[in-house]
């Protein structure tokens, strides 16, 4: 495997992250996961736009142009011979010696990896509502894809411990936000609905496409609503997944729904 790191493509085993990188010491950075299809990273414009917005929120300078970043993505995908799979772009504030104040003259770390994926994993998802942690809708981190992913890791651990596939995270007032790796949509009264970003949902790239394609609305979603919806599904850049069960209760018929099946063509 080859990894792109600050302009150089090299074997993963020879790629060295500085032990003082603030991405490691403080989670001070961002990432994007892109689907690779036919050797091409999909929706690059939208991913790079979100990356750039996140860099603005964190104040991480990103000197590379979009064209630079696209060349680097393409080169990494090609070097790893990935036809179907995914690419991950990671941007950190770079090394910082100590304390939380950013260095005056940061040297950001830009890393790209690309891996094939074993199979198009779109099997139906059984989820729980996470009880161990919640999303913090007061934090700007909710609307950028930062390296601070531990709440999601904790919720995911809770799901696996309960024999489920994934967990849905609530926000501070108990509204549904998203799953640990995907946005959530429900069909209710003939409308397709997804939690708003202000409730703590990540503005997902696939989410935006699905909102457009399905004419979906943003609306606060209470957990008890799953008892009343005809179908539900999860979306992320890698796929659209039927959500067929929440906390042990079937959604609709318990089978993948027609809206989800139709939207999967988007992927």
Which tokens go with 36? 């690779």
Q: Which of residues 176-205 bind its own copies (CB under 8 A)?
A: 180-181
User: Of 7 and 19, which has the nearer Cβ to its own copies?
Assistant: 19
Binds its own copies (CB under 8 A): choice among 12, 107, 120, 213: 12
Q: Are 171 and 177 in contact (CB under 8 A)?
A: yes
Q: How far apart are CA 58 and CA 38, in angstroms?
A: 33
Task: Indicate whether 97 belongs to the interface with its own copies (CB under 8 A).
Answer: yes
Task: Indicate whether 17 belongs to the interface with its own copies (CB under 8 A).
Answer: yes
Which tokens go with 229? 């919806």
**Burial class (CB within 10 angstroms; exposed 0-12, middle 13-18, buried 19+) of 27:** middle
Binds its own copies (CB under 8 A): choice among 71, 78, 160, 198: 160
CA distance to 26, 28, 102, 141, 250, per residue, from 58 (Å): 12, 8, 10, 9, 41
Our measurement of the distance from residue 196's CA atom to the centroid of its chain's CA atoms, rounded to an integer in Å, reads 16
Write the binding mask 115 to 154 for its own copies: x where contact by CB under 8 A, - elsewhere: x----------------xxxxx-xxxx----xxxxxxxxx
Total residues in contact with its own copies, by rule CB under 8 A? 57
Binds its own copies (CB under 8 A): choice among 27, 39, 103, 124: 27
Q: Are 258 and 233 in contact (CB under 8 A)?
A: no
Question: Do the bridges between strand 231-236 and strand 183-188 make them parallel or antiparallel, or are there none, so unpaired?
Answer: antiparallel
User: Of 10 and 213, which has the nearer Cβ to its own copies?
Assistant: 10
**Burial class (CB within 10 angstroms; exposed 0-12, middle 13-18, buried 19+) of 203:** middle
Q: Which of residues 28-87 bind its own copies (CB under 8 A)?
A: 28, 31, 57-59, 86
User: Of 187 and 238, which has the nearer Cβ to its own copies?
Assistant: 238
Task: Indicate whether 25 belongs to the interface with its own copies (CB under 8 A).
Answer: yes
Q: Which stretch binds its own copies (CB under 8 A): 75-83, 96-104, 191-199, 257-265?
A: 96-104
Query: Which positions lie near its own copies, rule CB under 8 A?
Result: 3, 5, 12, 15-21, 23-28, 31, 57-59, 86, 88, 90, 92, 97-102, 111, 113, 115, 132-136, 138-141, 146-154, 156-157, 160, 172, 180-181
């Amino acid at each position: 495997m080859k990894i792109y790191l600050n302009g150089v493509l090299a074997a993963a085993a020879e790629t060295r992250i500085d032990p003082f990188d603030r991405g490691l010491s403080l989670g001070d950075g961002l990432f994007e996961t892109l689907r690779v299809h036919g050797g091409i990273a999909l929706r690059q414009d939208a991913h790079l736009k979100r990356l750039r917005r996140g860099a603005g929120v964190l104040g991480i300078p990103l000197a590379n142009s979009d064209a630079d970043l696209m060349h680097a993505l393409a080169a990494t995908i090609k070097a790893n011979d990935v036809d179907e799979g995914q690419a991950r772009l990671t941007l950190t504030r770079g090394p910082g010696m100590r304390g939380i104040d950013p260095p005056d003259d940061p040297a950001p770390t830009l890393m790209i990896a690309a891996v094939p994926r074993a199979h198009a994993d779109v099997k139906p998802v059984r989820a729980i509502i996470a009880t161990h942690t919640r999303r913090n809708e007061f934090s700007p981190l909710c609307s950028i894809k930062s390296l601070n992913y531990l709440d999601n890791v904790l919720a995911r651990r809770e799901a696996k411990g309960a024999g489920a596939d994934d967990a849905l995270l609530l926000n501070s007032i108990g509204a549904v936000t998203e799953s640990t790796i995907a946005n959530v949509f429900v069909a209710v009264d003939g409308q397709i609905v997804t939690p708003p970003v202000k409730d703590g949902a990540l503005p997902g790239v696939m989410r935006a496409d699905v909102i457009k394609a399905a004419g979906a609305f943003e609306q606060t979603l209470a957990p008890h609503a799953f008892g009343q919806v005809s179908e539900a599904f999860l979306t992320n850049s890698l796929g659209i997944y039927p959500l067929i069960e929440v906390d042990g209760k079937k959604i609709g018929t318990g089978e993948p729904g027609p809206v989800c099946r139709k939207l999967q063509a988007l992927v």
